[in-house]
Amino acid sequence: MNDTFLQACRGEKTDYTPIWIMRQAGRYLPQYQKVRGNVTFLELCKTPELCVEVTLQPIDYLGVDAAILFSDILIPLEAMGTTLEFHEGRGPVFPNPITNQADLDKLIIPDPNEHTAFVMETIRLLRQELQVPLIGFAGAPFTCATYLIEGGSSKVFWETKKMMYTCPELFHAMMDKITRTTTLYLQAQAKAGAQALQIFDSWAGVLAPCDFETYALPYVTQIIADLQDSGLPIIYFANNGATLLEMSESTGADVLGLDWRINIGDAVKRLGRTAVQGNLDPFSLLLPKDELKKRIGNIINDARDAHGHIFNLGHGIHQFTPPEQAKAAVEYVHELSCK
């Protein structure tokens, strides 16, 4: 068992810098496209055998040091009783967005082992196959809330902020319900066998720091506190969160994910004994190999004083990335960080 990733999460010295890649099981891989060609995205998410297959695809090919459960952050929101659709080219759609207390009251706090049994089964099956640690995950409450309020993806999050600013009680009640759902969901993942848990706050970066502090931070902090019993390392990734770094650390996360907009060395200087994960611009996988290698070396060097560094991209790998470039990146990380 390769547990370099878990060592780095705990801030322990490692023989080399471990790496995994956000969305490493995904559309840039022809073998993923093949599986996906036969089923819808939601069918894929709900079929443990297929989830296992696509989760495993990149592990040997890329040579990464961790696997991440194949699923979607919106799965537990559907389990709350919402209608979730994925439209090609448009992304996720919630046709009945939450606009008032009555809408919110209709949502349940689902039993994760009942309503998302397929996720827990995927985790159990994966643990029988994997020689690297398995990361479970969920969306952070703020990010989940934006989808429920906007009815899908958004560019400017007008409806979300409108609710925050004009109906704060409703907003906080929704956050509370999502938070309780997310805690149970992640606790169930831990029990099913996940060995680390990542909380994706994809849209945290649209908030002013004072709003992040009021409307998002307390809920993430609550979840992480409630996960302490699991003993698992928790990774919190507040995308576009350069100005939220100190508050993100205050959540008690063991590892902070960093997007590519911040110099990783600058981030390390601002943190205490929290490990960091990141942060190559996913698109720089397009660089000629010698320049890609140099850039990876710069990140490893910039992160040399970190209390644990897990190499990753600063965001999910783009669907048009040549897989061999991702494979090369993994090799460079291992080669350049080898002690």
Judged by the rule CB under 8 A, the positions of this chain that interact with its own copies are 155-158, 161-162, 165-166, 205-211, 240, 242-243, 260-263, 266, 281, 283-284, 286-288, 291, 295, 298, 314, 318, 320
Name the catalytic one among 147, 185, 219, 236.
147
Q: Cβ closer to its own copies: 43 or 291?
A: 291
Q: How many helices (H) and strands (E) does the chain have?
A: 17, 9
Q: Are 55 and 66 in contact (CB under 8 A)?
A: no
Distance CA 262, CA 204 (A): 15
Distance CA 62, CA 189 (A): 25
Name the catalytic one among 3, 65, 72, 302.
72
Least distance CB 165 / its own copies (angstroms): 4
Give strand ranges (E) for the chain.
Answer: 67-68, 85-87, 91-93, 134-139, 196-201, 234-238, 255-257, 275-280, 309-313
Of 312, 309, 65, 306, whose CA–CA distance to 195 is shortest?
65
Q: Cβ closer to its own copies: 180 or 295?
A: 295
Q: Are 76 and 116 in contact (CB under 8 A)?
A: yes
Q: Cβ closer to its own copies: 137 or 215?
A: 215
Q: Is 36 a catalytic residue?
A: yes
Name the catalytic one among 27, 124, 180, 261.
27
Name the catalytic one among 10, 16, 36, 211.
36
Least distance CB 243 / its own copies (angstroms): 5
First to last CA, the chain: 20
Q: Cβ closer to its own copies: 173 or 242?
A: 242
Helix (H, G, I), strand (E, B) or coil at 4: helix
Q: Is 127 a catalytic residue?
A: no
Q: Which two tokens stand for residue 221?
A: 């902090």
Least distance CB 264 / its own copies (angstroms): 10
Of 68, 30, 63, 64, whose CA–CA distance to 51 is shortest?
68
Q: Cβ closer to its own copies: 138 or 245?
A: 245
Specify whether the backbone of 206 is left (phi greater than 0), alpha (psi in -120 to 50) or beta. Answer: alpha
Q: Is 23 a catalytic residue?
A: yes
Q: Cβ closer to its own copies: 30 or 288?
A: 288
Distance CA 136, CA 66 (A): 11
What lies within 8 Å, CB to CB, of 76 at 6+ separation is 110, 112, 116, 138, 139, 144, 181, 182, 185
Burial class (CB in 10 A: 0-12, 13-18, 19+), 105: exposed
Q: Give the residue numbers annotated as catalytic, written as ranges.
A: 23, 27, 36, 72, 147
